[in-house]
Structure 1
Amino acid sequence: MAADVAMQQVERPVGAPPDPRRRRAAKQHRGGDLSDGMFGLSLMAGSANVIMQLARPGVGYGVVESTVDSGRADLHPFKRARTTIGYLAVVALGSEIEQQAFRKAVDGSHRQVRSGADSPVKYNAFDPELQLWVAACLYKGSVDLYRMFYGEMDDDEADRHYQEAMAFGTTLQMRPEMWPADRDAFDKYWQEQLDTNIGIDGPVQKYLYGIAAVRMRGVTLPGPLHKLVEAPMLFITTGFLPQRFRDEMRLPWDAAKQRQFDAMIAALRMVNNLTPGPLRRFPFNALMWDMRWRMRTGRPLV
């Protein structure tokens, strides 16, 4: 595989024609389904996708200033991860009743997330425009991951996945007509957002760096162990980011790091292809079971 493979995938528009050098890998992937085998891999890129989402100031300050302490990733990272992963699992695998139940639970937390008089930007967690941006980041991240690990989908399959990804937003308050009409329209929307609405300032950058480097108040590691964990986690997160977001975060990257990242992806691709389906889908399959158990027993979903 040519150098800088991973970088080529994250910088490519989602509407770009399939790369003929990588089409065979997608055909060899059983089912060619984003949900088949992508769930476990998506955990690796989770922090990078959070950075992309919070790069829009309305989302960033909505999280940084949130008074819903139980949902803050810096205070309760494992609970926050369970909620986020559970949401993605319900969107992809849940029934309409399950999606409605999860939406009601998430709405309960979102009602408290509104800008105050001293907030540097106005925001509201029910703002469908902000939810559209979050959904766009989730979709863009899933396409980038698929290209890295499986190759290219044909146009029909890519279009089907694009329409399915609308549910990332419509499961909450985003109206269906807000989702760009097709993949080319999505690329236009994405570039417009990069040009006009993206910017990470000091408070949001500090918050996001803490997540990327595992410097969260809710995670306590012994000093030596933390030093062992911080560098590789920061490297992985930076590797999954498009360059624009690395620049916003002031995260250094060069050709040598890119080659190391590509080598890591190549090794993980081999391991992933040999891993049984249930393990590839972990922990999303486990959290779907947990969510259904919570619904049956009347326990909180978030």
Structure 2
Amino acid sequence: MTISENPVEWPVSAPEPGKAGPTGRRGASFDDGLMGVALLAGPANVIMQLARPGVGYGVLESRVESGRVDLHPIKRARTTFTYLAVATKGTEAQKAAYRRAVNKAHAQVYSTDDSPVKYHAFDKDLQLWVAACLYKGGVDVHRLFVGELDAEKADQHYSDGMNLGTTLQVPPEMWPPNRAAFDEYWQRSLERVHIDDTVRDYLYPIAASRVRGVKLPGPIQRRSEDFALLITTGFLPQRFRDEMRLPWDERRQQRFDRVIAVLRAVNDAVPAFVRQFPFNVLLKDVDRRIRKGIPLV
């Protein structure tokens, strides 16, 4: 099953509640044990977000060194996944606290006279793009690991997706009013996607899951990077593969499908609390950090 440029490809006829959908599996809510496997799509989603030049250079030139994924991948991953957990599952108090923490960091992210593009982390249009990428990534993960949502659940998930933007600076009226409007927004936004050599060089190690300072023996390193590139490229729509110059063909697609099939079976077999890791733990960590005055980002 390929990742489409179009983020919402729902069935024409929605399955009845409790009945098997197009994949032969029973309907499930959007976040039904998919939080853990969603981590697999993380590098691809980072590439999608940074494919808008304002976001790409904003991250690449960021003065907030502790938040740079190339320098501190584990901390950056914790911050990003915590944001997703708070935006989708958090209380209003958690959202408010995380918004204040992120805003403090974002205040230091803006272009200079030497920057090739103009940007500011408080740019609502760029924040909407980031939220849209997160929403689309979630839909793609659900499609691959569960199947299509019926129309009612798809609408509910889309409405909930607004929190990905409004948890920061995006006003509710900027979020496209329905899924059809989102499709139009997405297609228009693809025209503004461009990854130049500088941003591509920054993103390639992320696509290959290279960890700064960690070097495995040659053959193991190559196999590890090949596998990471397969997963990352498989989760990318073709437009972003082209911008990253990542090759893709039928053989790679079939290999990706086989890997996803195995992971889907494993994910279905493990207990719910394991499937929801690390997001269930991160929400508790937010409360701990607030209580003890530990920085959230």
Q: TM-score, normalised by structure 1?
A: 0.92
Query: How far 1:28 moved relative to its partner?
Result: 1.9
1:260 is the counterpart of 2:255: yes
Shift of 1:92: 1.4
Q: Which residue of 1 aligns with 2:36?
A: 40
Whether 1:28 and 2:26 are equivalent positions in the alignment is yes
Q: Distance in 2 between matches of 1:120 and 1:186?
A: 29
Check if 1:228 corresponds to 2:223.
Answer: yes
Amino acid at match of 1:168: L
Structure 1 CA distance for aligned equivalents of residues 7 and 128 of structure 2:
18
Query: The residue matched to 1:222 in structure 2 has which SS?
Result: coil
* C-alpha spacing 1:11/1:67, structure 2 compared with 1 (3 Å): same
Which of 160, 166, 172 is the aligned partner of 1:170?
166
CA distance in 1, matches of 2:101, 2:7: 34
Contact in 1 for aligned 2:6/2:187 (Cα 8 Å): no
1:13 CA displacement = 4.0
Task: Give the partner amino acid of 2:227.
Answer: P
* Distance apart, 1:205 and its partner CA: 0.4
Determine if the alignment matches structure 1 residue 190 to structure 2 residue 186.
Answer: yes
Pairwise CA distance, 1:15: 5.4
Q: Is the 8 A contact 1:14 1:183 kept in 2?
A: yes
Give the Cα–Cα distance (whole angstroms) in 1 for the partners of residues 12 and 30 of structure 2: 16
Alpha-carbon distance in structure 2 between the residues aligned to 1:277 and 1:138:
22
Deviation of 1:278 (Å): 0.3
Matches within 5 A, 1:73-84: 73-84=69-80
Partner in structure 2 of residue 247 of structure 1: 242
Partner of 1:146: 142
Shift of the 109–10 alpha-carbon distance from structure 1 to 2, 3 Å rule, reads same
Maintained 8 Å contact 1:19/1:152: no
Letter matched to residue 106 of structure 1: V
Q: Deviations over 1:102-137 (max 9, x none)?
A: 010111110000000011111000011000000000
Pick the aligned partner of 2:53 from 50, 57, 60.
57
Find the aligned partners of 1:138 and 1:191 in 2 and give their Cα distance. 16
Question: How far, CA to CA, are the matches of 2:266 and 2:253 in structure 1?
Answer: 20
Counterpart-to-counterpart distance in 2, 1:39 and 1:193 = 27
Aligned residue among 78, 93, 100 for 1:97? 93
State the match for 2:196 in structure 1: 201
What CA distance in whole angstroms lies between the structure 1 residues aligned with 2:245 and 2:12? 31
Q: Using a 3 Å threshold, how does the CA distance of structure 1 residues 272 and 132 change in structure 2: closer, same or farther?
A: same
Alpha carbons of structure 1 residues 291 and 231: separation in structure 2 relative to 1, 3 Å: same
- After TM superposition, give the deviation of residue 17 of structure 1 in Å: 3.5
Call closer, same or farther: CA 1:184–1:79 in 2, change over 3 Å: same
Displacement of 1:19: 7.5
**TM-score, length-scaled by structure 2:** 0.94
Q: Map Cα deviations across residues 200-230 of structure 1 (whole Å, 9 max, x no partner).
A: 001110111011113343x423343433321
* Aligned CA distance change for structure 1 residues 154 and 26 (closer, same or farther; 3 Å): farther
Equivalent residue for 1:159? 155
Unaligned runs of 5+ in 1: none
Deviation at 1:26, TM superposition (A): 8.0
* Larger helix percent: 1
Deviates more, 1:227-236 or 1:160-169: 227-236
Quickly say closer, same or farther: Cα 1:131–1:138, change in 2 above 3 A.
same
CA distance in 2 between partners of 1:194 and 1:17 (Å): 24
Q: Deviations over 1:160-191 (max 9, x none)?
A: 10010000000000010000010000000000
Alpha-carbon distance change, 203 to 80 in structure 1, aligned in 2, over 3 angstroms: same
| Amino-acid identity (%) | 55
Task: Tell me if 1:122 matches 2:118.
Answer: yes
Separation in 2, partners of 1:56, 1:253: 22
Q: Distance in 1 between matches of 2:122 and 2:7?
A: 28
Q: Report the Cα offset of residue 286 of structure 1.
A: 1.3
* C-alpha contact (below 8 Å) 2:87/2:164 kept by paired residues: yes
- Name the aligned partner's letter for residue 287 of structure 2: R
Paired position in structure 2 for 1:14: 8
CA distance in 2, matches of 1:296, 1:208: 36
Separation of aligned partners in 2, 1:79 and 1:26: 39
Q: Which amino acid aligns with 1:139?
A: Y
CA–CA distance in 1 between the matches of 2:252 and 2:22? 27
